[in-house]
Amino acid sequence: MTSKIYFADARAKGYDYKYSFVAKFEQILNMIDFKEFIAEKDYVAIKTHLGSYGAHRIVRPIFLKKVVDKVKEVGGKPFVTDTVRIPGLEYLDVANMEGINHLSVGAPVILADGIFGRDSIKVKTGPILKEIGVASAIYYAPAMIVVSHCKGHISSGYGGAIKNLGMGGISCKDHCGEAERGRIHFEGNQHLEWLDAKCIRCRQCVDVCPHDAIELIDDSIVIDKSKCVKCARCSRVCEVKALVAPITEEGFQKGLAESAYAVVSTFEKGRILYINFVTEVQPECDCMPMADTPLVQDQGVLVSFDPVAIDQAALDMINSAAPLPQSKAADKNVKNGDNILKAVTGKNAQLHIDAAYELGMGSKEYELITITEKDVEEGEGE
């Protein structure tokens, strides 16, 4: 079955609002019947990523505001949300720093799993995770719009709609304070392994940990397991591989798909809209404390009711684009026609998209419906 995806190119070829990326995105939203999946007075979760200290290439507030306005037009009650990634109050400060607040987006900005990251409802998944804690504000919302910034990721190779659901739709911790999201990062109930002989005591792991779970004490790396959320950021930055995360690529990617499936299962069919911004495609997740230059030129925005199709389209779009000079793609000597994200991250992103497809989350076949300046001018779908 072929899924329909609306697409607007990021190029602006004229000096008029109708040529702008914003206008074309607005026209796509006008072509979606929001009344089909949002009832009057429905609380609607607008799930996005709020960024990080040093990471600034997230979806701009102006686009979130356009989504909020469409929800309000049909009588819905929107709230912009994400789950705890760094301590809750600090994460809300990050959102405000990024320009995402009630004034800029026109809706409350909240943490779906509460400021302590423990508010969740257990939902059954599959053979890898068995069950996962879906963030309560997402679990109870009748409808959701998943707004994703597409980029690379050290474990999944690519982060789009499925990752936004699988990692961002679940709580940071469970009710007992154990890492919940970390169950995807670390297989089973394992912990980081520190290899003393390899460690050069550079302190990068200490400095990068957002939860102050790592210290260098008496020339030894000490990990506070009660604070560690198993995000594996420390092992990511360790250049000598002295911190080892107990994870396999296949296990992570299938677990990610299972978690995304669990989040989707809490909604009635057809009540989630997906929006993928294929812009400022960097090699790292937006939760890292930095943002590199883009791997490819801005491609545009995709909108669909199918999370598998929209991620497949975004991945295809990125990998078929020309690698940009002065980027990590150039550092890796990636050529036109290469699998850019795999070359840069070392991971095969197709694995979690295939896993989501196998779970019945959507189709990998898609049809792109491209929005043009003429569509904006004529106001199709209004």
Query: pLDDT tens string for the chain (382 positions)?
Result: 899 999 999 999 999 999 999 999 999 999 999 999 999 999 999 999 999 999 999 999 999 999 999 999 999 999 999 999 999 999 999 999 999 999 999 999 999 999 999 999 999 998 989 999 999 999 999 999 999 999 999 889 999 999 999 999 999 987 767 778 888 877 655 778 889 899 999 999 998 898 888 999 999 999 888 888 877 788 878 989 898 877 788 888 999 999 999 999 999 999 999 999 999 999 999 998 899 999 999 999 999 999 999 999 999 999 999 999 999 999 999 999 999 999 999 999 999 999 999 999 999 999 999 998 888 877 754 3
The distance of Cα 281 from the centroid of its chain, to the nearest Å, equals 12
- HEC readout, 328-361: HHHHCCCCCCCCHHHHHHCCCCHHHHHHHHHCCC
Extents of the domains making up the chain: 2-181+247-378, 191-244
CA distance 356 to 308: 7
No. of helices (H) and no. of strands (E), the chain: 15, 14
Token pair for 288: 């890292």
Rounded alpha-carbon distances, angstroms, from residue 33 to 21, 29, 257: 21, 8, 28
- Per DSSP, the residues of 231-262 read --HHHHH-TT--EE----HHHHHHHHHHHHHH
Token pair for 145: 């719009």
CA distance 50 to 327: 24
Q: Give the pLDDT score at 189.
A: 59
Task: Collect all residues with Cβ–Cβ distance below 8 Å to 181 and sequence separation of at least 6.
Answer: 83, 167, 170, 171, 172, 229, 230, 231
Q: Give the pLDDT score at 77.
A: 98
Q: Do residues 40 and 75 touch, judged by C-beta distance below 8 A?
A: yes
CATH class assigned to 2-181+247-378? alpha beta
Token pair for 68: 């909020």
Q: Give the pLDDT score at 187.
A: 62
The domain 191-244 having CATH identifier 3.30.70.20: the answer here is yes
Token pair for 117: 């990251």
Q: Give the pLDDT score at 188.
A: 54
Q: Do residues 342 and 67 touch, judged by C-beta distance below 8 A?
A: no
Number of CB atoms found within 10 A of residue 324's CB: 17
3-state secondary structure (DSSP) of residue 221: strand
Q: Give the pLDDT score at 382.
A: 39
Task: Collect all residues with Cβ–Cβ distance below 8 Å to 276 and sequence separation of at least 6.
Answer: 148, 150, 160, 161, 301, 302, 303, 310, 311, 313, 314
